[in-house]
């Protein structure tokens, strides 16, 4: 099997190396909207970033980012952050997603930080906060429930 | 829905034919850079219900190995289709930002096939528009369901000429 999310060894190795860039490379829609991740300078987690690309605009009058693109960014961030912070290498699947829009997301770089509130044996709850200029002025908060898939053997 | 709500929605929609609404919402999704570039199509509008189609392209992928659509695409599509339904569920088109959106993922969407989207307005109040939307590839097997609540900013915060821009300069409704 080629390297990728369903290759258990590859998933474990990229996770151990914290190689979130390798994960993002394999997510075409996340690449299309311009999602990246960097280590959080003030902690041991990650900060995710969404580039202000022209095709991410949803309102040309304000102008503002498409709310659905901001949601897709936060869903991506929550999923990858969980893959990194879970107790073992797992491939999560989003069950449901909820987002509250707090402020207009202008066409500048957007950041997101995630918090794993609960990791059970089968389910996880992840909270995501997105901001632009200042983290204490979030543009949106989101919550994901994810099912944690069991790692599959290579010959599955 | 009470009789007065029903008649209010009908009077809003009665101005314009379904074909005029389809043209108006087509213009709307073509003005939004994200949906224009993805080629989102408006198939049918029967106020306060909207039916759209997102054609397949490889950028929509989330799981390349299994050929599955990125979950974020589905959230984006539900936000767009619910937000479009809002326009035709109001007495007159108003700017209505999304307050919140909740998406339930029933099953993965498959690569290589278009995604169909339908949304409708459930209730309009002075402050809010409540909507719901559904996505599918096979009509018997829904992919995701969304509940989107939108804030009415009111005519005062809607740019002058918003409806005219939506329906074209020759709109006499």
Chain B touched by A69 (CB under 8 Å)? yes
Would you put residue B56 in left (φ > 0), alpha (ψ -120 to 50) or beta? Answer: beta
Asked if the Cβ–Cβ distance from A29 to B59 is below 8 Å, we say yes
Which residues of B are less than 8 Å from A33 in CB distance?
A: 72
Distance, in Å, from the CA atom of A50 to the CA atom of A135, rounded to the nearest integer, reads: 14
Instruction: Give the gyration radius of chain B's Cα atoms.
Output: 16
Q: Which CATH class is domain A8-149?
A: alpha beta
Asked if the Cβ–Cβ distance from A28 to B73 is below 8 Å, we say no
Chain B touched by A150 (CB under 8 Å)? no
Asked if the Cβ–Cβ distance from B65 to A4 is below 8 Å, we say yes
Which residues of A are less than 8 Å from B33 in CB distance?
A: 54-58, 60, 66
Whether residue B12 contacts residue B92, with contact meaning beta carbons closer than 8 Å, is answered with: yes
With a threshold of 0.80, does the pTM exceed it? yes
| Bond prior to B48 in cis (omega within 30° of 0) | yes
Q: How far is A120 from chain B (nearest CA, A)?
A: 20
What pLDDT shows up at residue B170?
Answer: 56
Give residue-wise pLDDT tens across range A39-81.
Answer: 998 887 899 999 999 999 999 888 999 999 999 999 999 999 9
Chain B touched by A71 (CB under 8 Å)? yes
Chain B touched by A57 (CB under 8 Å)? yes
Superfamily of domain B3-155: Hotdog Thioesterase (3.10.129.10)
Q: Which member of A28, A68, A95 has the closest CB to residue B76?
A: A68
Q: Which member of B31, B72, B97 has the closest CB to residue A29?
A: B72
Distance, in Å, from the CA atom of A30 to the CA atom of A75, rounded to the nearest integer, reads: 10
Q: Which of B2-11, B88-97, B100-109 has the highest mean pLDDT?
A: B100-109
Percent of chain A with pLDDT over 90: 83
- B-interface mutation test, from A2, A7, A8, A28, most B Cβ less than 10 A away: A28
SS3 content of chain B, % helix, strand, coil (to 5): 35, 35, 30
Chain B touched by A62 (CB under 8 Å)? no
Which residue in B has a C-alpha nearest to residue A75's C-alpha?
B72
Residue B7 has pLDDT above 70, yes or no: no
Counting other chains too, the contacts that B155-163 makes at CB distance below 8 Å and 24 or more residues apart are B155/B92, B155/B94, B157/B95, B158/B93, B158/B94, B158/B95, B159/A61, B159/B95, B162/B93, B162/B94, B162/B95, B163/B92, B163/B93
Please give the ipTM for the structure prediction: 0.92
Whether residue A71 contacts residue A137, with contact meaning beta carbons closer than 8 Å, is answered with: no
Chain B touched by A59 (CB under 8 Å)? yes
Q: Which of B132, B139, B134, B79 lies closest to B113, judged by CA? A: B139
How many beta carbons lie within 10 A of that of residue B45, not counting itself?
Answer: 26
pLDDT band at B158 (very low <50, low <70, confident <90, very high): confident
| Bond prior to A63 in cis (omega within 30° of 0) | yes
What pLDDT shows up at residue A154?
Answer: 45
Mean pLDDT of all residues in A148-155: 62
Distance, in Å, from the CA atom of B173 to the CA atom of B157, rounded to the nearest integer, reads: 21
Chain B touched by A154 (CB under 8 Å)? no
Distance, in Å, from the CA atom of A94 to the CA atom of A85, rounded to the nearest integer, reads: 16
Distance, in Å, from the CA atom of A28 to the CA atom of A34, rounded to the nearest integer, reads: 10
pLDDT band at B160 (very low <50, low <70, confident <90, very high): confident
Distance, in Å, from the CA atom of A113 to the CA atom of A135, rounded to the nearest integer, reads: 9
Asked if the Cβ–Cβ distance from A98 to B101 is below 8 Å, we say yes
Which residues of B are less than 8 Å from A72 in CB distance?
A: 70-73, 75-76
Q: Which member of B37, B60, B101 has the closest CB to residue A55?
A: B37
Q: Which member of B34, B71, B80 has the closest CB to residue A75?
A: B71
Domain range summary for chain B, segments of one domain joined by +: 3-155
Residue B41 has pLDDT above 50, yes or no: yes
Give residue-wise pLDDT tens across range A67-119.
Answer: 999 999 999 999 999 999 999 998 899 999 999 999 999 999 999 999 999 99
């Amino acid at each position: 099997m080629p390297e990728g999310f369903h290759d258990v060894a590859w998933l474990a190795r990229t996770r151990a190396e914290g190689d979130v860039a390798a994960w993002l490379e394999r997510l075409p829609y996340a690449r299309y909207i311009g999602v990246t991740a960097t280590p959080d300078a003030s902690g041991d987690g990650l900060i995710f970033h969404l580039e202000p690309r022209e095709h991410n605009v949803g309102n040309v009058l304000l102008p503002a980012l498409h709310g659905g693109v901001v949601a897709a960014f936060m869903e991506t961030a929550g999923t990858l952050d969980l893959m990194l912070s879970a107790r073992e290498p797992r491939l999560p699947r989003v069950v449901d997603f909820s987002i509250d829009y707090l402020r207009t997301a202008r066409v500048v770089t957007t950041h997101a930080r995630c918090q794993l509130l609960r990791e059970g044996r089968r389910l996880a709850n992840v909270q995501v906060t997105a901001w632009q200029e200042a983290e204490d002025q979030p543009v949106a908060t989101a919550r994901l429930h994810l099912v944690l898939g069991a790692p599959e053997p290579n010959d599955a | 829905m009470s009789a007065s709500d029903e008649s209010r929605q009908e009077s809003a929609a009665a101005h314009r034919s379904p074909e005029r609404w389809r043209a108006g919402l087509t213009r709307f999704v073509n003005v939004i850079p994200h949906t224009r570039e993805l080629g989102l199509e408006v198939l049918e509008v029967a106020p306060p219900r909207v039916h759209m189609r997102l054609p397949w392209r490889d950028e929509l992928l989330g799981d390349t190995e299994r050929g599955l659509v990125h979950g974020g695409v589905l959230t984006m599509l539900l936000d767009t289709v619910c937000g479009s339904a809002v326009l035709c569920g109001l007495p007159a088109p108003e700017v209505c930002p999304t307050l919140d959106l909740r998406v339930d993922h029933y099953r993965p969407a498959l690569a290589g096939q278009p995604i169909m989207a339908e949304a409708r307005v459930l209730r309009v109040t002075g402050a809010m528009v409540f909507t719901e939307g559904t996505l599918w590839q096979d009509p018997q097997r829904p992919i995701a369901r969304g509940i989107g609540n939108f804030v009415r900013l009111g005519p005062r915060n809607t740019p002058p000429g918003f409806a005219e821009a939506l329906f074209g300069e020759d709109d006499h409704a």
